[in-house]
Amino acid sequence: MAALSEWHGRLEETALAPVRRTGLRYWALVAFLLAVIGWGAYAYSVQLRDGLVVTGMRDRISWGLYIATFVFFIGISHAGTLISAILRVSQARWRTPVTRMAEFITVVALVCGASFVIIDLGRPDRVLNVFIYGRWQSPIIWDVLAITTYLTGSITYLFVPMIPDLALFRDRLAGRTSRWRGWLYRVLAIGWNGSAAQRRSLASAIGVLMILIIPIAVSVHTVVSWIFAMTLRVPWNSALFGAFFVAGAIFSGIAILIIVMAILRRAYHLHEYVTEKHFVNLGFLMAAFAAIMIYANISELLVHGYKLEEGVEFHFRQIFLAEFAPLFWFYLLGGLVAPIVIALLPATRNIRGMVVASVLVTFAMWIERYVIVVTGLHVPLMPYEPASYAPTWVEWSLLAAGLALFALLITVFTKVFPIIAVWEVAEDHEAMVGAPGAARRAARPAALETQDV
């Protein structure tokens, strides 16, 4: 019993550590991210003043980096749903230490993704027209509906399982932290005291939410794909698009989660809880999704390429041989094949290998979104010379600012909220230690955990 309470104490200290101590490096990082965001704000002010003429987009390629980044961010927001809802439903116990991070990523990525739609608008001052005059016939409205629903759902789903941990923060930090923090935790813990009745309510609330959030998440990236698939453009003319986008979303979500896990693990010394097992398991999942993506690509390309209808020849030429060939081949080989190889080879089946694979996948999936958006518009519709598109410094700056905002929000979150689901990890631990025969079952994972520290 003493060992258990000592274990608890260590877990709580690990969870509280980011809030208790803030080093110089943290502030340096925040300052750097703020500087990047500030630069992005300047670029955006230039765009507001002069119009979208400061971007590389023109009439014939009228969407570009912004929309690609929007799709990318909405995609990685699927990390949280996958890890905490799908894995929770399938009762994969190993997920508990990383659920909170995944849910953070979801909320933050949605906020960043939605802001890129606003950035892309020619008239951001009229964005409320979407609510005033919104037409249900438009895929954009489906998106607004799906993304706002998903944002509300995922904020709720982030918040509800966090209540016991917020109560922990409220109690442990009472009188020992700034007034706003004390107030924040008191309000957000909504009177949690850990009674059996409360815990039952919590369990049923989580149960309902995790079932609700899965169809919402699937719908989100499906309707994002329909923005493209509902138009009469050859490369986007595919009934597979919805499923293809959802698979790609989860795929890139896992990659971002692995990267964030690796950074937070190192920054906040979570080695005991976030272990090699998590990286390897997620790496396997990522490899599985890479296989699904390969399958989807073959299905898509073969069906179109076999018939080679009008416009398809141009499209195939541009992605396999001409302008977009380097990007597309990197996506196929570096983004889809490499992660599978890395996950399969014993030599690279470790944290470093998985992080490398994740970085590859992240780049490849952003590139895939970019290639989908730009090549779709690049196929000429009428007898004119194909247009060209290259993002300008304004677009690159806003992409950098978007990524910095993503990193900043995660960084700030980790300083305010518990980054580990303390009560869930504790519950799992107790179940493992307390149940009969637990020693035998615990032996293997424990060995895995220690070899990694």
Partner 1 sequence: MCPPTGEVDDGPEMDLEESERATADRDVDPGEAIPPYAVTDGSQFGRRRFLRVLGLGTLAVVPLPILPELMRAAGLAEGQPEPVHGIGEPARTRDGRIRQWTMIIDLRSCDGCQSVGQPPRCTAACIEGHFAPEPMEWIEVYEADLPGGGTQFIPTPCQQCQNPPCVNVCPVGATFSTPEGTVLIDQDRCIGCRICMAACPYDRRFFNWGDAPIPPEALLADYSPEHQVPAKKGTVMKCDFCPDMARTGTLPYCVQGCPNRAIYYGDLEEDVATNGRVVVSASRFLAENDAYRLKEDLGTKPRVYYIPGHGEAVGRDVFTPDRQPTEWPWMEWAEGAVTWQR
Contacts (CB under 8 A) with partner 1, residues 205-234: 205, 208, 227-228, 230-233
Residues 97-126 that bind partner 1 (CB under 8 A): 117, 120-123, 126
- Pick 131 or 180: Cβ nearer partner 1: 131
Contact with partner 1 (CB under 8 A) among 2, 3, 24, 197? 197
Our finding on whether 3 is near partner 1 (CB under 8 A) is no
Give the Cα separation of 169 and 424 in Å (integer). 15
- One of 166, 168, 259, 332 touching partner 1 (CB under 8 A): 168
Supply 282's token pair. Answer: 């997620």
Residues 348-387: x/- map of binding to partner 1 (CB under 8 A)? ----------------------------xx--xxxxx--x
Amino acid at 448: L
The most distant pair of C-alpha atoms in the chain lies apart, rounded to whole Å, by 79
- Stretch in the footprint of partner 1 (CB under 8 A) among 162-170, 317-325, 353-361, 402-410: 162-170
- Please give the residues from 48 up to 67 whose contact with partner 1 meets the rule CB under 8 A: 50-55, 57-60, 62-63
Residue 85 to residues 88, 103, 143, 251, 298: CA-CA distances in angstroms? Answer: 5, 10, 21, 15, 29
Q: Which of residues 34 and 433 has its CB atom nearest to partner 1 in the complex?
A: 433
| Single residue of 29, 160, 294, 301 touching partner 1 by CB under 8 A | 160
- Rounded to a whole number of angstroms, the minimum distance from the CB of residue 82 to partner 1 is 22
Rounded Cα–Cα distance for residues 258 and 280 (Å):
10
Q: How big is the site for partner 1, counted in residues (CB under 8 A)? A: 82
Binding status of residue 196 toward partner 1 by CB under 8 A: yes
Give the nearer residue to partner 1 in terms of CB position, either 358 or 397.
397
Structure-block tokens of residue 238: 């595919």
Rounded to an integer, what distance in angstroms lies between the CA atom of residue 269 and that of residue 267?
A: 6
State the nearest-atom distance from the C-beta of 395 to partner 1, in Å.
13
Residues 127-156 that bind partner 1 (CB under 8 A): 127, 129-135, 137-141, 144-145, 148-149, 152, 155-156
Rounded CA-CA distance 311/196 in Å is 64
Please give the Cα distance from 42 to 35 (Å, whole number): 11
CB 114 within 8 A of CB 66: no
Provide the mask over 419-438, with x wherever binding to partner 1 is found by CB under 8 A and - wherever it is not. Answer: ---xx--xx--x--------
Stretches 85-93, 195-203, 287-295, 438-446: which one binds partner 1 (CB under 8 A)? 195-203
10 near partner 1 (CB under 8 A):
no
Angstrom distance (rounded) from CA 45 to CA 371: 27
Q: What are phi and psi of 185, to 5 degrees?
A: -65, -35
Candidates 46, 111, 172, 452: give the one binding partner 1 (CB under 8 A): 172
**CB–CB of 402/41 below 8 Å?**
no
Cα separation, 169 vs 155, in Å, equals 19
Min separation Cβ 225 and partner 1, Å: 13
**Which among 173, 304, 339 is positioned nearest to 233, based on CA atoms?**
304
Stretch 296-355 residues interacting with partner 1 (CB under 8 A): none
Determine if 406 is a binding residue for partner 1 (CB under 8 A): no
A 10 A CB-CB count for 390 gives 10
Best CA proximity match to 74, nearest among 49, 122, 108: 108
Q: How far apart are CA 416 and CA 83, in angstroms?
A: 22
**Closer to partner 1 at the Cβ: 301 or 387?**
387
CA 223 to chain centre: 17
23 vs 175 by CB, closer to partner 1: 175
